Amino acid sequence: MFMPAMKVLNFLFFHYKQRYNFSQFHELLADTDRDKLAQSGGKFAHYLCKILDVYFSYHRDSYCMKGVYLHDPTALLAAVNPSLITYTEGIVRVQTIGITRGLTLFYNKQKRWGCLALQITPNGLL
């Protein structure tokens, strides 16, 4: 079950970051990154670009952003190999009402109740 997901993570987080010199590694795949994938000539890259069209359209229409969040693959990566991610402890709260509903707050002055991933080490995926 994890092997296909790890192949996708390896592809997104390492291979094309190194090969095409993406400007910054983050949990966002930008439109420019997708364009680089599409131009690569790789069969898997073209397939991935095709299936990501729905997500790019959704993020563009819903959030006015030129890219897609990779939170789900990042969460899978953390579950499969947590040593590839740097964490920090702190208080994490999610707003449940009002205009900020869904907003995540993080306070790291008191080291209790949860942790937040700060960095992912893509080289460890291979």
Domain boundaries, the chain: 2-125
Query: Is residue 28 within 8 Å of 69, Cβ to Cβ?
Result: yes
Residue 24 has a pLDDT of 43
pLDDT at 52: 83
Lowest model confidence (mean pLDDT) among 15-24, 26-35, 37-46, 72-81: 15-24
pLDDT band, residue 94 (cuts 50/70/90): confident
- Model confidence at 90, pLDDT cuts 50, 70, 90, reads confident
Q: Is the pLDDT of residue 100 over 80?
A: yes
Residue 46 and residue 69: Cα distance in Å, rounded?
A: 19
Q: For position 8, what pLDDT does the model report?
A: 56
Residues 82-108 have a mean pLDDT of: 81
CA–chain centroid gap for 57, Å, is 17
Beta bridge partners of 119: 86
- The DSSP result for 27-69, as a single string, is SEEEHHHHHHHHTT--HHHHHHHHHHHHHHHHHHHHH--SEEE
Cβ atoms 11, 48 nearer than 8 A? yes
pTM of model > 0.85: no
- Across residues 14-36, what is the average pLDDT? 62
Place 11 in a pLDDT band, splitting at 50, 70 and 90: low
| 20, 11 Cβ separation under 8 angstroms | no
Output phi, psi for 90, to 5 deg: 170, 180
